Structure formats: C-alpha cells, structure tokens
A and B are shown apart, each in its own frame.
Chain A
Amino acid sequence: MRASRVDEITSALSWRERKVRESLLFATLDGIIRNPQGFIALVGLLLLIVGGVGAPLIAQHDPIAQEAAGRFLSPSWDHPFGTDELRRDLFARTLYGLRASFAVSMIGVVVGTVVGVTLGFLAGYVGGLVETGAMRLVDALLAFPGLLAALGILTILGPGVENIGIAIAFFTIPAFARLSRAQMISEKNKEYVLASRAVGASPQRMVFRHIAINAFPPLLTQMALLIAVAVLITAALSFLGLGDQPPTPSLGGLLNASRQYLREAWWYSVFPGAVFALLLFSLNLLSDAINEASNPYIRRK
C-alpha cells in the first residue's frame, strides 16, 4: 500500500526529481527507513544527536559547576539522572559527555575515511608501484588490533581527546583504503565508465561523478560500523583515563568514576551506561540496515 502511494507521488514529479528518487543514495535511504531495524536505529540516533548537539539548551544545569543541593541525589524532576559525588548534575554531564564522545568519533572516522578512500581510489585507479606501496603500508597498519594501535598513538602524542581523534583516523584509514581500492578496481572496467571515457570525460569527472557514486553504499555501511567501533574505543580510552581530563565529562570517564560508588548511587553508572548502549545499538543496527538496503542479494522481500 505504501509502495503504490510512493509511485503515485513519483509519477507527479518532474524528470529531474524522479532522477533523484531513482538514485542509489535515495534508494538506500528509503530502504533504511522501511526496515524496522533501520527505523529504530535512525530514531535512536536522532534522539542522541539532538541530545548531544542541543546539550547546552536541554541541560538545565552546568556540567562542571558543583551547584546541586547535595551529593548523590537520586533521580528527580530537577536532576533526571541524579547527581554525582561533587554535587554535579549527571544529566548535564551525560549529555556533554555524549556530545564530546560522538564528536570526536565522527571527526576521526570522517578524516580517516577521506584519507583512506583517497588512498584506495588512487591505488586502484593508478595501479602499479603506487598500489603496491600503498597496500603494503595498509598491511602494516592492519597488523595492529584497533585498541592497541590507538594506545600506541596515544603514547606518541600523549593522552587527550584530540589525540584519540587522531588515533581513530589512523585505524580507519586501512579499512577504507582496502575497501575503496577493491571498489575502484571492480568499477573502473565497467561499461558505463568506458562509455564516459569514450565521450571524453576527464579522469576527475569519471572518479567523482561516476565511480564514487556507485562505490558509495558499501563505504557508507563501513562508515556506520566504524563510527560504532570509534565510539567504543573513545569510551574505552576515556574509561582508562586517557581522554578528556577531569572535570570535563566523557561517557567513558563517567563510567569509570561511577565504579567506586556502585554501593551509594546506582544511577551514576546506569544512566551514562544506558545512553552509551543506546548509541552502540543504534549505530550497529544502522550499519546492518544500510548493508541490507544497499545490497540487493540480502534485501528482504
């Protein structure tokens, strides 16, 4: 029933708009929303993004000021997530922590993706020595499991949230370089690329207008998955005390601090933990949904 309604609308659209609707990106987005898992993931993510981005507007209290009426106040209307050992509002701290963790993961993955995809496309397009050299470099990076690589980079650069971002970018690069190289190699000999070459398209136009768009869905799946990994690593590193230093809040830092007060204040670990779990759930479900929507072989009937 919904499909026929969509058809009705599309038939009334102009040619250009219809082109947009037929595009891979739109089809993928449409597939995600129609998939119940994908829908839940999008709603969850949207909620968290609004909470994180809007933290200064939503939180009624300062995340750092020690201004609550008491230590370890249990959740109430004024302090939905309760207060911590230093009379700080945990709702504000959780939202600001979420904001910081999410921002650093996103920026790290986006930077790593841009570098990795460029490297992979270049290697796949040019081939030869460039390809061999780039891919050996990628192999060396892949020899380190994610968290260990991040620990190594933090040793070089020192603890800190910006450096976690750099570490995330670093372990994002090899995964994307491999994937985009494979995409480039499989796409560059297809007929539509030959056709555009035949009509005299420049290499840039070919790569960016044609190949990149077709290589996009698998990269998007990988990106959602890597953001989930990045969020996890950011939280793990700040849990270890290698991220934002107190009093700046971070999800991992909150969970670490709450550990000592399990007896006194259950809400201290439960709420930041729940927000973090929701974030991980949403990102993983989203990457599954993108994969399902963009891969016709496993698309549900």
Chain B
Amino acid sequence: MLAYVLARFLQAIPVLILASIAVFLMLRLVPGDPATIIAGEGASDADVARIREQLGLTDSPPQQYINWLGRLFRGDLGHSFASGVPVSRVLKIAIPPTLELTVAAYLLAVVVGIPMGVLGGIKPRSVWDWLLSGYTLVTVGIPGFIFGIIMLWVFAVRLGWFPTFGEVSFFDDPLSSLRHLALPAIATGAGVAAVLARYTRTTISEVMNNDYVRTARAKGLPESRVVIRHALRNSLIPVVTVMALQVGGLLGGAVIVEQVFTRPGLGRVMVNAIQARDYLVVQSTLIILVTIFIAANLAADIAYGFLDPRVRGR
C-alpha cells in the first residue's frame, strides 16, 4: 500500500510542475511589457524599472521561474498592484469563506447525490429512478448561479427565511454562519449532486446483477445490508474518481455563486483582480486552486487503492 501511495505522489509531481509553468507563463504572455502596463500611463522610467525589478523580470525566464517557485514555498506571493497589500494577506481573508462554501456544497452533494443514485439504481424504472432523471434534467438546464437567483428570490426575498447577502465565519457564530451558507451551498452543490447520482445509479445497477450480490441474498442477508455492505462498496470505486473531478467544477461554481449571494471570498477577489489587471493576485489564486484540484485527484487515486485492493498491484 505504501508503495502505491508513493507512486501516486510521484506521478502527481510532473502534472503540478506543468501546471505551475503554465501559471507562471501567464504573466509573460501578457501582450506588451507587464511592468509598463502595471505602472500605468505616464509612469516614469524609474517606476517601470522598479516594478520590473519587483516582478523579477530582469533575470532569465528559467531563473525567474525558479525564483518564483522559491518565493511561493516561503509564502511570499508579492504585493497587490492595485492596493499595495501583500497578496498572502488578501488570500488569507478570502480563502476561508470560499473553502467553507466548497466543503459545505461538496458534503451536500455527496449526502444527497449518492443515496439518490443508490435508490434509482437498485430499482430501475421505479418512482425514485424517474425522480432522479427529472432532477438531472433540471440541473442541466438550470446551472448553479441561476438556481441561486431563484432561491434568493423565493427563500430570501419573498419568504425572508435566509439573509440575502454576506457571510459570517462558522467559528464566530455557527448558527448565523449556516443560515448564510445554506442557499449558496445548495446552489453550488445541486449540479454536482446530479452528476454523482447519475454515476452511482449506473454503477450500482450494474453491480446489482453480479453473482456475489445473489450469493449475499441467498444466504439470507437483509436487503439493506446487501446493498450497503456488498453492492455500494464496489459501485463506489468509479464514483470516487468522478467525485475528485467534480472538485474543479465545484471551485468554479463557488466563485460564481459567491457573486449571486454577494459573499466575500475568492470569487470577488478574482473578479476585482481581473478587472484591475492585478496579475499577481490572479496568478496566486490560480496556483492555489489548481493545486487543490490536483490534490483532490491524487486523493481519489489513493482512495481507489483503499477501496479496491486489486488496483494496488498494478
């Protein structure tokens, strides 16, 4: 098992390096000289030279990349050009709310999606199966941010059950935090729940036809135990991969849903930074999000090994 985990770690490294090169190149691909653009019109040559120095644009590109990585590991992300605040401080404030939203949406998607898929999969063409198909169809046409607007209108504006905007840290006031989190989390997680449900449905309906399920039934196990202990465990293996791939969509979805509910977080930081052409902020945010995405895929690979001993040998 240890060898398997180690091998997976080693395989993730080249992908991470490639992705970091791509993010690094972002700043070099800006048409024209980034230092001149950042300095703005009417900046003196001295200003431009200072910014170029600050960006480390005076070294050779490979040297710049190594320096950038080195600073990244030390947590030095440079300063925001728009506000002059260290980027690390901007992100320290913006990451927790987004992480809260993503984790809540993810939990919701798993808790709703997988049981829904199981119910639809063990009895194809039952009421549960039709409900599942209907739900999937609706989420295809109504993406998270539109669903968010609908819920905002019904539950926050009309019924007044939930606040219409803002965010409260879970550690300051758990109840208020959950009230602020509920609608955005549902909006972000609804589509992911549908994807998970569809995959679970497909795999479990295939697994239910296997001999070992028949054996488990034949030896008199209650149906719930057959489904949960025998069928579900095996059908979850492909679902785990899909769960990891969905992390990317979830992060992107969270960024947009945050705007719907006027929640502070990475979404607002990214949008403001793009409009202000605050390159270092976007660069740092992207590298963090891509690392999370790659780490999620790695975690899925490792979970695969735990769930299915056959994978380890390969």
Contacts and interface: CB of A to CB of B under 8 A. Distances in A.
A261 to B, nearest CB: 10
A145 B273 CA distance: 19
Interface in A201-234: 232
B143 A146 contact: no
A140 interface: yes
Contact of B146 (A154, A242, A277): A277
Interface stretch (A4-12, A63-71, A80-88, A155-163): A155-163
A297 to B, nearest CB: 15
Interface in B29-55: 29-31
Interface string A134-173: 0010011101111110011011111100000000000000
Interface in A246-298: 255-256, 258-259, 262-263, 266, 269, 273, 276-278, 280-281, 284
A188 to B, nearest CB: 28
B69 interface: no
A239 B271 CA distance: 11
A49 interface: no
Contact of B152 (A141, A262, A276): A262
Contacts of B274: 151, 154-155, 159, 242
A145 B296 CA distance: 12
Interface stretch (B180-188, B216-224, B287-295): B287-295
A194 B285 CA distance: 51
Nearest to A266: B153
A241 interface: yes
Contacts of B270: 151
B236 interface: no
Contacts, number: 118
B223 to A, nearest CB: 30
Contacts of A241: 271, 275
B19 interface: yes
Given A259-B149, A263-B157, A240 B259 contact: yes
Contacts of B19: 140, 143-144
B106 to A, nearest CB: 14
B22 A156 contact: no
Interface residues of A, number: 40
A179 interface: no
Interface in B129-181: 137, 140-143, 145-146, 149-150, 152-153, 157
Contacts of A239: 145, 256, 259
A25 interface: no
A139 B18 contact: yes
A139 B259 contact: no
B255 interface: yes
B311 interface: no
A140 B279 contact: no
A277 B141 CA distance: 5
Interface string B247-275: 01101110110011000000100110111
Contacts of B286: 144, 148, 151-152
A280 B140 contact: yes
Contact of B143 (A144, A157, A280): A280
A159 B275 contact: yes
B15 interface: yes
- What is the predominant secondary structure among interface residues of chain A facing chain B? helix
Contacts of A155: 26, 273-274, 277, 279, 282-283
B140 A152 contact: no
B252 A156 contact: no
A45 interface: no
Contact of A269 (B137, B149, B259): B149
Contacts of A157: 31
B275 A242 contact: yes
A236 interface: yes
A145 B279 contact: no
A262 B153 contact: yes
A255 B290 contact: no
Nearest to A278: B141
A148 B294 contact: no
A232 B146 CA distance: 11
B307 interface: no
Nearest to B246: A145
Nearest to B258: A240
Given A155-B279, A158-B277, A280-B143, A143 B271 contact: no
Interface string B1-39: 000000000000001001101110010011100000000
Contacts of A144: 19, 22, 286, 290, 293
Contacts of B271: 240-242
Interface of B: 15, 18-19, 21-23, 26, 29-31, 137, 140-143, 145-146, 149-150, 152-153, 157, 248-249, 251-253, 255-256, 259-260, 267, 270-271, 273-275, 277, 279, 282-283, 286, 289-290, 293-294
8 contacts: A146-B249, A155-B279, A156-B26, A256-B259, A259-B152, A262-B153, A280-B140, A281-B140
Sorted nearest first, the 5 A-B pairs with minimum C-beta distance are A145-B248, A147-B252, A140-B18, A281-B141, A143-B19
Interface of A: 136, 139-141, 143-148, 151-152, 154-159, 232, 235-236, 239-242, 255-256, 258-259, 262-263, 266, 269, 273, 276-278, 280-281, 284
Given A140-B22, A262-B157, 18 more contacts: A136-B18, A143-B15, A144-B293, A145-B293, A148-B293, A151-B255, A151-B274, A151-B286, A152-B26, A152-B286, A155-B282, A155-B283, A236-B256, A241-B271, A259-B149, A269-B149, A269-B153, A273-B150
